[in-house]
Amino acid sequence: MLLPLIITAISLFTAIVAVIAAKEVIWDESKNGWRKLNLRGYVVIPCAICMSILPLVQYFIQNDEEIKKEMGRRAETVKHDTQLRKEYETSVSLMKKDFDTSSDKTLRIVGQILAKQNDSLDIANKRIIKLMHDSGNIKMVLPDQPVFQLVTTDEFGPAINFLKFENGFNHYSLTFMSQDGSSCCYDLKISAVVLFDTTLLGMAYKGPVRMALTGTDNLAKDEIRHWSFTIDNSHPYNWLYLWVRGTYGDRNGTHTYKLDKVYYNHKSANTFGDMQGPIQTSVIANIRKFEK
């Protein structure tokens, strides 16, 4: 919110300078008190006040338009992703009709496709192995570096999932997964804000959200950790934003990885995604005002 303050200060300074410059025209020294202000003064001073207010109003109108555009883009992204998912499921269904997935023919086709990307299919362990070519020799590099993040699953639904409203609280669940490798040593913090109108002025801090994993916990590769939390509904809202930040490590504790993302849930549509741009910046700035 620093920019609105700067705009206000500049506008006030400009208005004051304008009034001072016009003093001889709007001020009658021969009279006392407010009577010194002549007819021109009653025109100039309201105009100066409007000059100081209009830039700030213009800023909030433009900012509101940017937020609406960002929300529109997010809604289009969700719609596009849903369409792609349907097309993918349809393609998989058609492929299953054309091929016997247990046959050598299908596995040979999959292997040929992966080989073009320097990958190989490890059927026994159900994983893809990266092949590195070094002086004519092929080395296998297993992708065991963990990616710990919020994920949407068939079992639990959206990664941030709206469950119900009860006794003045909105109930949600969180679903994290340790993808590509085992992870441990979690030092993460989650904080929440809500947007209860279409402008950033309608953003309210809702405090920290419980992080169910600590420095002594660990997750195996592709293991899920799922838990619930609540947000009070004192400000009726649709948009919930969670800022997740901190570090985690690999299974040996030899590498540390950083996580710093803002995620959202739209309560009415119960959609989930990660947020970037001006809203992400405002979410983080809002939380930092309450959490040092």
Q: Which residues have C-beta within 8 Å of that of residue 223, sequence separation ≥ 6? A: 177, 178, 182
Better-predicted residue by pLDDT, 260 or 32? 260
pLDDT digits (tens, 9 = 90+) for 107-161: 555 555 555 555 544 544 444 444 444 444 444 444 578 999 999 999 999 999 9
DSSP-assigned states of every residue in 62-121: HHHHHHHHHHHHHHHHHHHHHHHHHHHHHHHHHHHHHS-TTSHHHHHHHHHHHHHTTEEE
Domains defined for the chain, CATH in brackets: 2-69 (no CATH), 104-141 (no CATH), 147-290 (2.60.40)
Say if residues 177 and 149 touch (Cβ distance below 8 Å): yes
Report pTM: 0.55
Residues 6+ positions from 55 with CB-CB distance below 8 Å: 7, 10, 11
User: Which of 157-166, 198-207, 267-276 shows the highest mean pLDDT?
Assistant: 157-166
> Rg of the chain's alpha carbons, rounded to an integer?
29
Cα distances from 283 to residues 104, 112, 269, 291, in angstroms, run 52, 46, 21, 12
Question: Mean pLDDT: which of 48-57, 99-108, 232-241 is highest?
Answer: 232-241
Distance CA 147, CA 278 (A): 26
How many residues in the chain?
A: 292
The confidence band for 67, taking pLDDT boundaries of 50, 70 and 90, is: confident
Please tell me the distance from the alpha carbon of residue 218 to that of residue 148, in angstroms, as a whole number.
11
Q: Is the pLDDT of residue 206 over 90?
A: yes
* Residue 24: CB atoms within 10 Å: 9
Q: Return mean pLDDT, the chain.
A: 77
